[in-house]
């Protein structure tokens, strides 16, 4: 399955909106899927994104793999996850980042974060004149 960058952003933004109850008791895969599945992202897209965010240590989660599938309980976004999200949160930064990477066949989340940070830095320089 392919990891969709727009889905990564969508899932991280949605997880960030959760209250502290998620931190204490966790959010189950089924409850997350009920809220996040839509016409743009299927249950498989969101499930795979959560699994990869956990593997990449962008979220804290318990993953139970078994024959025929897996279950995941998400507790919170990690420091690295917040760094990634903060670099791609702004719609204009996201648009420019996607444009800058659109000709590439693959872009890791780390590279995506670096490009977004460069875009954000450029926007701040341009709007404030600060030598960042």
pLDDT in tens, 4-15: 999 999 999 999
Q: Packing angle between helix 5-16 and helix 79-88, nearest 10 degrees?
A: 110
**Overall number of domains in the chain:** 2
Query: Residue 21 belongs to what domain range?
Result: 5-78
The pLDDT of residue 132 is above 80: no
Residue 14 — φ and ψ, nearest 5°?
A: -70, -40
What was the pLDDT predicted at 77?
A: 95
Q: Has residue 45 been placed in a domain?
A: yes
Q: Are residues 11 and 55 in the same domain?
A: yes
Cβ 70 vs Cβ 64: under 8 Å: yes
Q: Are residues 61 and 39 in the same domain?
A: yes
Distance CA 111, CA 27 (A): 29
Q: Has residue 83 been placed in a domain?
A: no
Distance CA 65, CA 56 (A): 16
Q: State the pLDDT confidence band at 23, using cuts at 50, 70 and 90.
A: confident
Distance CA 64, CA 67 (A): 10
Q: Are residues 68 and 98 in the same domain?
A: no
First to last CA, the chain: 39
Residue 66's H or E segment, with its range, is strand 59-66
What was the pLDDT predicted at 100?
A: 94
Contacts of 66 (CB under 8 A, 6+ apart): none
Q: Has residue 105 been placed in a domain?
A: yes
Q: Has residue 72 been placed in a domain?
A: yes
Domain stop point among 38, 54, 78: 78
Q: Has residue 58 been placed in a domain?
A: yes
Q: Are residues 14 and 68 in the same domain?
A: yes
């Amino acid at each position: 399955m392919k990891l969709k960058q727009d889905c990564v952003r969508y899932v991280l933004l949605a997880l960030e909106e959760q209250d502290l109850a998620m931190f204490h008791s966790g959010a189950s895969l089924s409850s997350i899927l009920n809220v996040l599945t839509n016409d743009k992202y299927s249950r498989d897209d969101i499930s795979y994104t959560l699994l990869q965010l956990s593997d990449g240590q962008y979220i804290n989660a318990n993953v139970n793999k078994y024959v025929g599938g897996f279950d995941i309980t998400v507790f919170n976004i990690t420091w690295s996850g917040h760094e990634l999200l903060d670099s791609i949160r702004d719609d204009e930064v996201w648009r420019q980042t996607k444009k800058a990477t659109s000709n590439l066949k693959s872009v890791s989340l780390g590279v995506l974060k670096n490009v977004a940070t460069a875009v954000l830095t450029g926007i701040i320089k341009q709007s404030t004149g600060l030598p960042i």
